[in-house]
Structure formats: C-alpha cells, structure tokens
C-alpha cells in the first residue's frame, strides 16, 4: 500500500538531490536553449534555393517545362489536403492540379508564390483557376522547437530514471531503502513524480526562455501543449523504469539509454520530417513514444490543434505509459 508520509519523504529527498546538483540542472536547462538558438541563427534567412511546386494529376501543361522549379508529385485527396496546408505554410510555393479540374493554389502572403504565379501565367497553356489561401510561413525553427522540447524530455527521463536508479542500486542506496518499511510502490512512484515535476518544469522554463529570446510559432492552446508535455514526459519516464528495473552496472545503463535514445531522436522526427522515408522507418517510428509526443506538440503549436484533435496521440501515449509502467514495476528488483 502507499503510505503518503513515506512517499513524500522520498519525493522531497529526490527533489533536493536534483535541485542541488547545479551542474546537471544547468545543463538540462542550457542544452535545449543553446540548440534552439543555434538553429535559429543557422536557419535565419535560410531561404530555399529553388521554387517548389506541387503537381497533382498527369495532365500536360507547358508550365511543367519551366526551369529552376522543383516539381513535387501529389496524389490522393489526403495528399491534396496536405499540399494545400504546405502552401499555407510557405513550404511549397504553389500547388497545381491538372486532374480532374485545372486549378492552382497560391498563398497571397508569399513573395515566391507571387513570382511562380507569374511564370505559370506567362507559360501559356490551358486556363487554370486561381485559389487563394493565406497563412504565415512555418520556418524550420518553428518546426524544430516542439521536437527539441520532446527530445530534451526524453533524455532527461531516460537518464533521470534509467541511469539514476541503476546508480542507486550499484552503490547500495536501494539496499538501504530495502532495509526500511518503504514499499516498491512508494519508492517508484516518488521517483516518477519527482522526475515528472522536474521534466515539466524544465520544459516550461525552456519554453519561456525561448519565447523571450526567439520568435516562434504557437497557434494552439497552452493547456493542450501542457497535457502533451505531462503525458509525454510520463510515458518516457515509464520507459526509463524498464531500463532501471534490474541492471546493476551504470555503464550498461548509460549504454542502453543511448541505444534507445539515439534511434528515437533520429526516427521520431525531431530534426527532420520523415515524409518520404521508407515504409519500415515509419512503422518503426510508431513504436517510439517520442514520435507521438512530437507529432502532438507540432499539431498544437503549428496547426493550433486542440485536445480533441490530438486525442489519438494522447491515447497512444496513455497506452504506452500503462504498458511500460506495468513492465517496469513487474521487473523491478531492489538488488
């Protein structure tokens, strides 16, 4: 059973330990901010070199012979909808549909869109109907911030739980607790809650600092983003528990954290979109909680999605958390 007195005693001690470890604390805070500032400065003014035009349908049109334009094929209704969103976000400059109707979409706020539209008009060929959309440009920095927030949570969760509990086991801290009336449930839940408090506070601090230093997109509700951060952080902590359950060597734990963290960082779409990747990559990405965290955070921040819209990701994260937690507790050994 959970004795709250003991639970709070362990929670308080773990929080003290974390707060007083200044080096780790500042690194946890500084690392993501430095990464984001770095990206902001590298990619500021990093305009795409070519014009990008989405093309739907197999029809012929002299515009398609134009030079210095990268034509990207678009298929299906969903593809069309996604491509229109990309026009809104300035990710492609124009979208041309040749089947079943002759239409094109253009963002009225886009300078490059205006230029490509002039080339289209000058190329002759059949008349195409103008469809106007608007929307601010989604820059790389806007796109990468939800990813970096998620990635920072992931490493903090895996190291803060996976690595720290293994170190406790190795140096006898766990054995010392085993010799007291503390139960596994009290110990583990205190570790989880302590780390969750830290991860969410850190994410909020990093978010606020970036908000002061950088200009980035946030179209959705703060509540929805907060829910994603809390549930996402929880799922990653539970994943860390599985690593922490039995290992007695902190070198092995550190290796495992990296073994799990590195592919997750690459395949969860933190740094670059997985669109167009081989199908197996997309399948593998689905097993990582970070993929769903980053998806949901991007949906909230870039598309203004509410909690209902990100319900599928939240459900998956909830399910993963429950599975990891059960496995972690079931496998847990004090020694």
Which residues have C-beta within 8 Å of that of residue 228, sequence separation ≥ 6? 293, 296, 297, 300, 310, 313, 314
Residue from 101, 180, 184, 248 binding other proteins (CB under 8 A): 180
2 binds other proteins (CB under 8 A): no
Which one of 121, 130, 175, 333 is in contact with other proteins (CB under 8 A)? 175
DSSP 8-state assignment for residue 288: -
6 binds other proteins (CB under 8 A): yes
By rule CB under 8 A, what count of residues binds other proteins? 24
Cβ closest to other proteins, residue 23 vs residue 308: 23
CB 202 within 8 A of CB 29: yes
How many other C-beta atoms lie within 10 A of the C-beta of residue 201? 12
Candidates 16-24, 66-74, 91-99, 209-217 — which segment interacts with other proteins by CB under 8 A?
16-24
CB of 161 to other proteins, least distance (A): 15
Binds other proteins (CB under 8 A): choice among 17, 60, 132, 251: 17
Pair of tokens at residue 17: 């330990």
Letters for 289-318 (x = contact with other proteins by CB under 8 A, - = none) are: ------------------------------
**Residue 251 binding other proteins, by CB under 8 A:** no
Alpha helix positions (H), 55-110: 76-88
Choosing from 45, 100, 179, 276, the residue that interacts with other proteins (CB under 8 A) is 179
Question: Which CB, 4 or 283, lies closer to other proteins?
Answer: 4
Report yes or no: 250 and 161 within 8 Å, Cβ to Cβ: no
**β-sheet with 103-107: strand ranges across:** 69-74, 51-56, 94-97, 103-107, 129-133
Question: Is 16 near other proteins (CB under 8 A)?
Answer: yes
Query: Is residue 335 close enough to count as binding other proteins by CB under 8 A?
Result: yes
Site for other proteins in 135-174 (CB under 8 A): 168, 171-173
Rounded least distance, CB 170 to other proteins, Å: 9
Q: How far is residue 213's CA from residue 246's CA, in Å, rounded to a whole number?
A: 42
Q: Contact between 60 and other proteins (CB under 8 A)?
A: no
Q: How far is the CB of 2 from other proteins (least distance, A)?
A: 13
Task: Write out the DSSP string of 182-236.
Answer: --HHHHHHHHHHHHHHHHHHHHHHHHHHHHHH------S-HHHHHHHHHHHHHHH
Binding segment toward other proteins, per CB under 8 A, in 79-87, 146-154, 180-188, 217-225: 180-188
Instruction: Round the CA-based radius of gyration of the chain to a whole number and report it.
Output: 24
**What is the Cα–Cα distance from 142 to 302, expressed in whole angstroms?**
7
Residue from 335, 9, 330 nearest 176 by CA: 335
Footprint on this chain of other proteins (rule: CB under 8 A): 5-6, 8-10, 12-14, 16-17, 20-21, 168, 171-173, 175-176, 178-182, 335
């Amino acid at each position: 059973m959970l004795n709250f007195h003991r639970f709070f005693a362990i929670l308080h001690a773990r929080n003290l330990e974390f707060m007083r470890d200044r080096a780790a604390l500042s690194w946890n805070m500084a690392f993501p901010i430095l990464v984001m500032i770095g990206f902001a400065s590298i990619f500021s003014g990093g305009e795409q070199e070519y014009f990008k035009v989405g093309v739907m349908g197999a029809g012929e049109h002299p515009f398609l012979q134009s030079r210095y334009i990268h034509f990207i094929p678009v298929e299906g209704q969903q593809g069309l909808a996604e491509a229109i969103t990309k026009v809104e976000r300035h990710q492609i400059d124009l979208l041309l549909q040749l089947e079943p109707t002759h239409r094109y979409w253009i963002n009225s706020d886009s300078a490059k869109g205006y230029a490509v539209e002039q080339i289209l008009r000058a190329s002759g060929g059949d008349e195409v109907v103008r469809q106007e959309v608007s929307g601010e440009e989604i820059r790389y920095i806007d796109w990468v911030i939800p990813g970096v927030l998620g990635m920072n949570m992931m490493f903090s969760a895996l190291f803060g739980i996976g690595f720290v509990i293994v170190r406790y086991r190795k140096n006898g801290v766990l054995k010392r607790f085993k010799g007291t009336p503390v139960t596994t449930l009290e110990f583990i839940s205190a570790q989880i809650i302590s780390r969750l408090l830290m991860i969410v506070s850190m994410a909020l601090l990093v978010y606020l600092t970036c908000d002061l230093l950088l200009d980035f997109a946030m179209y959705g509700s703060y509540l929805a983003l907060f829910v994603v951060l809390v549930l996402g952080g929880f799922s990653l902590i539970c994943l860390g528990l599985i690593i922490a359950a039995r290992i007695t060597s902190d070198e092995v734990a550190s290796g495992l954290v990296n073994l799990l963290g590195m592919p997750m960082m690459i395949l969860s779409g933190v740094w670059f979109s997985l669109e167009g990747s081989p199908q197996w990559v997309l399948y593998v990405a689905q097993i990582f909680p970070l993929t769903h965290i980053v998806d949901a955070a991007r949906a909230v921040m870039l598309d203004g999605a509410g909690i209902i819209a990100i319900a599928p990701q939240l459900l998956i994260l909830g399910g993963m958390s429950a599975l990891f937690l059960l496995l972690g507790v079931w496998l847990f050994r004090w020694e």
